[in-house]
Amino acid sequence: MLVIGITGGIACGKSTVARMFGRLGAEIIDADRIAHSVIEPGTSAWQRVVDEFGRGILNKNLAVNRRKLGRIIFADSEKRRKLEEIIHPRVIEIIKKTAARTRKSAASVKKQQSASGLELSAIIIDAPLLIEANLVSLVEKLVVVTASRKTQIVRLRRSGLTEGEAIRRIDSQMSLREKEALADYVIRNDGNLKETARQVREIWKQINKYDGTVPGTVK
């Protein structure tokens, strides 16, 4: 079973791309969803986050308010590092266990035919910090989803952030150029969903025909 990593910059559309691969038959491991579960009220990581950042980051139901927490960590790199120290080890552990379990299960059954009519068992690891968290060793192919800085800012503004907040979040991450340099495939996601889906289908076809070479960017 092929393991494909999907990453990119904030507001570039990684999860949208992952869902497109899912509709073609891939099994999705969503790092963001895992990160949410790791800090659910009552967990040890939740308690450590509250101890570090205070109860002011909590909603009435005691769940972590990610918007409030985000404003703190994206304004202070040291606080962001401390949050990552709390969350990342547990998220990485769960991703590794889930990938291993899925691979073991897939090995005992016939490869399923995807919606596109192509046969391939694949795991997608959708992780915004896949490279930074040293998860690249888990994947056999790396897909980087990119968008222009202007597009990123516009999308983040739509989510309710100020322009300054949007820029700080973009600049807090590894640059898209650095990520692209490590990619087997690059998806440009400035256009419409139809164009993005075309690129996803093309990559899916290339993966099915994979012969050990690196096909490169899909344009």
* pLDDT 10s digits, 97-147: 999 888 887 766 544 444 444 444 689 999 999 999 888 998 999 999 999
What is the CATH number that goes with domain 2-208? 3.40.50.300
Question: Is residue 31 a contact partner of residue 131, using CB atoms and an 8 Å limit?
Answer: no
Specify the pLDDT at position 109.
54
Q: Quick one: pLDDT band at residue 74, thresholds 50, 70, 90? A: very high
Backbone φ and ψ for 62, nearest 5 degrees, come out as 75, 0
Which uninterrupted H or E stretch holds 106? helix 77-107
Lowest mean pLDDT among 7-16, 160-169, 189-198, 201-210: 201-210
Nearest to 61 by CA among 77, 41, 80: 41
CA distance 95 to 73: 23
| Stated pTM of the model | 0.85
CA distance 217 to 145: 11
CA distance 180 to 145: 9
